[in-house]
Amino acid sequence: MTDTISTPKPSVTDSGAGPITRFLRATEIDTRLLGMFAALALIWTGFHIYGALFNGGGAFLTPRNLWNLSVQTSSIGIMATGMVLVIVTRNIDLSVGAVLGVTGMTMGILQVTILPQYLGLGSPLIWIITAIFGIVMGGCIGTFHGWLIAYRKIPAFIVTLGGLLVWRGAAFVANNGKTISPVDSTFQLLGGGPYGSVGATGSWVVGMLAIIGIILALYYGRQNRIHHEFAVRPMWAEVVVGALSCGMVIGAVLLVNAYPWPSGIVKQYIAANNLTVDPDTLFISHGFAIPVLILMGVGILMTLLVTRTRFGRYVFAIGGNPEAAALAGINVRWMTLRIFTLMGMLAGLSAVVASARLNSATNALGLLDELYVIAAAVIGGTSLAGGLGTIYGAILGALVMQSLQSGMVLIGTPTAVQQMVVGSVLVLAVYLDNLYRSKVK
């Protein structure tokens, strides 16, 4: 059961259960989480083996490809965290891809043709103003959608379907369909690339912070349970959970650090810094890409919002029973407006990441993203009936969707077939989810 609120569960030690069940109970590891990891493992090794057998290379499980995968996941993942809230409250947002497109386009115009006039080309203020503008603009569009839905009582499906067409059209009109490229050179770093990554040391710092966070979370979680005299996990289970989580963090750091800068960039770097090293022996790690760090940051903040604040609590209450929420004094309409505003802001942030990564703004930016974002949330366990969903699930869901997509590109699947596969996977995933839920109940 993906409990929407992380309540401590008593560590039942049912002697009748098998060893795996007992292990999962003691560690309180969510079976859905395991399922998602299994799906990922299957997809990754599947593509790798296919590549090894038929493409001669087996290029999936390489630091390079996985690093790229992490960057590609960022934009969808950021939006998927917001889509969880939208779907949990029994709404839908079909417009996120189009909102991303129009904000990306507007940011392109702002940073390339408007701001340099006033601040001078290459001013360090440009990227900050542009990024903030993008988030605010996305937020305003979201507020407008939310207002139509909550206060004008137009169904979310209709408002955002209309929004999909309107904003996609606006993205074209904004610059007459012409692509804007390149974007501001600092802004570009927000999309990743060799310079837009934090390097080996930076990645270890991030990794260490994550490990400290995990240990603190486990420690305070346990203290809290002891304080209120609730059942705690057995010590070995705490250690296993901690070791697994930290192990994954270290694995991720090692992985991103194993992907070196390409030799062209290394030569450029040596020339720029007047170094006297042999470019062939100099190994400079990418480390975590900035968009991936943005996704992690968003994931942590959104998780806190959803599980630890009143706002998050009300989101789930509305999803579970809108009338009950209203009778408990929750202003459902105001909540809806704020949720759509948040969704819009996240679409704006994704626009920053996506246009920075492409180093250009095109009117097709974010095309079909709404479907990937919704699929990511749903695959990650967000129930379309409302009331259930997790942020980590949605991010993993985004990774699953992106893995499928990248894998198929890698083995040369035609676009038409890719669409057929993605569509079928979505339907299958929801079906499996239904089976899973009815079994858990």
Residue among 158 and 328 whose Cβ is closer to other proteins: 328
Q: Which residues of 138-163 are buried (b: 16+ CB within 10 A; e: fewer)?
A: bbebbbbbbbbbbeeeeebeebbbeb
Distance CA 365, CA 179 (A): 10
Report in angstroms how near the CB of residue 216 gets to other proteins at its nearest. 14
Nearest distance, CB of residue 209 and other proteins, angstroms: 19
Query: Quick one: DSSP state of residue 285?
Result: B
Residue 392 beta carbon to other proteins: minimum distance, rounded to whole angstroms: 18
Q: Between residues 267 and 313, which has the closer beta carbon with respect to other proteins?
A: 313
Q: How far is the CB of 382 from other proteins (least distance, A)?
A: 12
CA pair distance 7, 289, nearest whole angstrom: 34
Of 104 and 312, CB closest to other proteins: 312
Residue 90 token pair: 């029994």
| Residue 440 structure tokens | 């858990």
Binding site for other proteins (CB under 8 A): 3-10, 224-225, 227-228, 230, 304, 308-310, 312-314, 316-317, 319-321, 323-330, 387-388
Of 96, 81, 75, 36, nearest in space to 389 by CA: 81
CB of 270 to other proteins, least distance (A): 48
CB 324 → other proteins: shortest distance, Å?
4
DSSP string, 62-105: SHHHHHHHHHHHHHHHHHHHHHHHHHHTT---S-HHHHHHHHHH
Q: Which is nearer to other proteins, 310 or 439 (CB)?
A: 310
**What is the smallest separation between the CB atom of 167 and other proteins, expressed in angstroms?**
32
285 contacts: CB under 8 Å, gap ≥ 6: 199, 200, 203, 256, 257, 258, 259, 260, 261
Buried b (16+ CB within 10 A) or exposed e, 288-318: bbbbbbbbbebbeebbebbbeeeebbbbbbb
Residue 121 CA from chain centroid, whole number: 32
Q: Which residue has the tokens 């990937």?
A: 372
Specify the residue, 153 or 280, whose C-beta has the smaller distance to other proteins: 153
Whichever of 89 and 111 has its CB closer to other proteins, that residue is: 89
Among residues 6 and 359, whose Cβ is nearest to other proteins?
6
Measured from the CB atom, the residue of 224 and 263 that comes closer to other proteins is 224
**Tokens 């699953």 belong to which residue?**
400
Q: How far is the CB of 431 from other proteins (least distance, A)?
A: 21
